[in-house]
Amino acid sequence: MKRYNMRKLFIFIYCLSFSAPVFAVQDTLKMDFATAVNLALEANLDYQIQSNQQEVLKKEKQTALASHFPSVNVGTTFSRQSGQQFQQIEGEIVVTNVTNEIISGGLNLEMPLFNSGRRIFDTQSSKLAWEAGEMGLERAAQQVVFDVARRYLQVLLDKELLRIANENLENQKALLEQITGFTEAGLRTLADQYNQQSEVARVESTVVDAEIQYENDLWDLSEYLQLEPGVIPDIIEVDPAVNSMSYEGMSTVELYDIALGNRVDIKQQELLTNSAEKSLKANKAMYYPRLNAFYNYSTFFTSLDDRSIQEQLLTIYPQNNLGMRLSIPIFNNLNNRLNVTRSRVQLKNQELRKEALDRSIYQDVRLANQNYQAAIRKEKNTRVQVVAAEEAQTAVSERFRLGLSNFVDLSTANQQLVAAKGDAAQAIYTLFFQEVIMRHALGTLNPLGIE
């Protein structure tokens, strides 16, 4: 028998030695909510794309501002001509078969003087588009905070429900030992002992379900944060009672006014509408004449001239050309009309989006307020429910100990107490999350975290 036990122990140790590296693969990363948000902002695809797009809008704004200054270009040409060359010598054209090496260079400056305000409108439009992009980036960050908060709080809720299930399991095991002692003493029937054994098994299954739910939601959070494979977040708990019921008693109209003053997406849409309006005016300016000032400087060197390169380039052949150019659009294949039509349609679409966003914000606030007020009432009810369930369970347990109550009453009281605690935990975290939803709807959600 001892040899058999030693063999089992050896096999167990042998298997454990191979399974240990598997468990060692997993690692935990301790983090608070702010750290989770920062990781999500770095990993979120939509936020990163929008952040990259903001760099383009910034360059477009700088380009529109630079259009108010002259454009400057410098050019030079090196060429070699072989064959017959025509030269004018003493009033006669002489043709010679020579090789001519030519160096030419020039400087061109052009300054727009009048273009019906196109430069001004383009500058204003690009500046408004960049500001709208900043607003959109802030709203995208709030959306990431909202998504992280939903997963973060769900994990905390699962953890609390798992704790309640384990606590209930320990209580049921202690009760089983008590009933077993009563049965052996002849104070309880064997049926009560078997019923309690069944209840313990049922509670153990409940614990397993709670563990699975906790692990699934934990992996969902780690997947959203794009953590390395095998890394599991070890999140720091938050107090769900902090700042709860801060919007209690406020009407939808009051909350809607707060949202209009804080929602960055409505501000973004207003900026986009104004930007489209400026862009339309800029394209309309192409219908009118444009006046530009220009200055050209050019010079060259030829090997057919015996004088030095410096003398030819700087003294003999330099030319200066200064003037103004007037351009009057007559017909350009209807390109200007096409650009104006596109801008007008874009402006109308932005106005439609603004109207739709106004309605959407009101609906978001109204729905968030309804759910928030309902969560407040439910949280208050569950507190009463827990107190009543604890009193009932205490009374039934005492009666059961004295033999005045049966097992069914005791089991029912225990289940009601566990259900009440679960409902209370659910209600507390639901209220806290509804607070987050309310802030998201009002545009006051802090990108740095939840408090």
Domain boundary, last residue among 328, 353, 379 = 328
Mark whether 195 and 254 lie in a shared domain.
yes
**Residue burial 171-210, b: 16+ Cβ < 10 Å; e: rest:** bbeebbeebbebbeeeebeeebbebbeebbeebeebbeeb
Verify that 212 and 224 share a domain, yes or no: yes
- Alpha-carbon Rg for the chain in angstroms: 40
At 21 the pLDDT is 39
pLDDT > 80? residue 339: yes
| Residue 254 lies in domain | 28-68+115-288+334-442
pLDDT at 242: 60
Tell me how far apart the alpha carbons of residues 121 and 343 are, in angstroms, rounded to a whole number.
13
59, part of any domain: yes
pLDDT mean over 57-79 = 92
Q: What is the pLDDT of residue 381?
A: 93
For residue 33, pLDDT beyond 60: yes
Per-residue buried b or exposed e for 372-399, using 16+ beta carbons within 10 Å of the residue's own CB:
bbebbebbeebeebbeebeebbeebbee
d(CA 221, CA 29): 12
Last residue of a domain, one of 328, 355, 380: 328
pLDDT surpasses 70 at 197: yes
Question: Does residue 350 share a domain with residue 201?
Answer: yes
Tell me, yes or no, whether 91 and 125 share the same domain: no
pLDDT at 17: 42
Do 172 and 191 share a domain, yes or no? yes
Is 309 contained in some domain?
Answer: yes
Q: Which of 397, 402, 425, 424 is nearest to 413 (CA)?
A: 397
Percentage of the chain surpassing pLDDT 70? 89
Which distant-in-sequence residues (6+ apart) come within 8 Å of 425 by Cβ?
A: 157, 160, 161, 164
**Statement to judge: residues 128 and 184 lie in one domain:** yes
Quick: pLDDT tens for 228-272: 888 888 888 887 766 556 788 889 999 999 999 999 999 999 999
Q: Do 105 and 186 sit in the same domain of this protein?
A: no
- The yes-or-no verdict on residue 22 having pLDDT over 90 is no
Domain count along the chain = 2
pLDDT at 398: 84
Question: 103 and 181: one domain?
Answer: no
For residues 158 and 275, state if they share a domain.
Answer: yes
* Reported confidence tier of residue 20, pLDDT bands at 50, 70, 90: very low
Contacts of 313 (CB under 8 A, 6+ apart): 103, 105, 299, 300, 301
Residues 177 and 229 in one domain: yes
The residue behind tokens 């709080």 is: 153
Burial of 155 (0-12, 13-18, 19+ CB in 10 A): buried
214 inside domain: yes
> Per-residue pLDDT averaged across 415-443, rounded?
90
> What is the pLDDT at residue 86?
64
The residue from 298, 313, 328 where one domain ends is 328
How large is the average pLDDT for residues 130-159? 93
Q: Which two tokens stand for residue 256?
A: 């809607």
Strands 92-114 and 27-31 come out as: unpaired
Per-residue pLDDT tens digits for 371-420: 999 999 999 999 999 999 999 988 988 888 777 778 788 888 888 988 89
How open is the CA angle 152-221-23, to the nearest 5 degrees? 120
CATH code at position 305:
2.20.200
Q: Which helix (H) or strand (E) holds 111?
A: strand 92-114
d(CA 231, CA 9): 32
Measure Cα distances from 412 to 207, 402, 408, 409, 416 in Å: 18, 17, 6, 5, 6
> Rounded to a whole number, what is the largest CA-CA distance in the chain?
144
User: Which phi and psi angles does 401 have, rounded to 5°?
Assistant: -65, -35
Of 110, 114, 112, nearest to 296 by C-alpha is 110
Helix H or strand E encompassing 100: strand 92-114
295 in a structural domain: yes
Domain contains 12: no
Encoded amino acid at 85, one letter: Q
Residue 369 domain flag:
yes
Q: Across all residues in the chain, what is the average pLDDT?
A: 86
pLDDT in tens, 97-136: 778 888 999 999 999 998 888 999 999 999 999 999 999 9
CATH at residue 175: 1.20.1600.10
50: in domain: yes
Q: Which band of pLDDT confidence, cut at 50, 70 and 90, is reported for residue 90?
A: low
- 184 and 230 inside one domain: yes
Residues 208 and 76 in one domain: no
Q: Is residue 14 part of a domain?
A: no
Q: How far is CA 436 from CA 102, 148, 431, in A?
A: 74, 11, 9
What tokens appear for 261 in the block? 């003053």
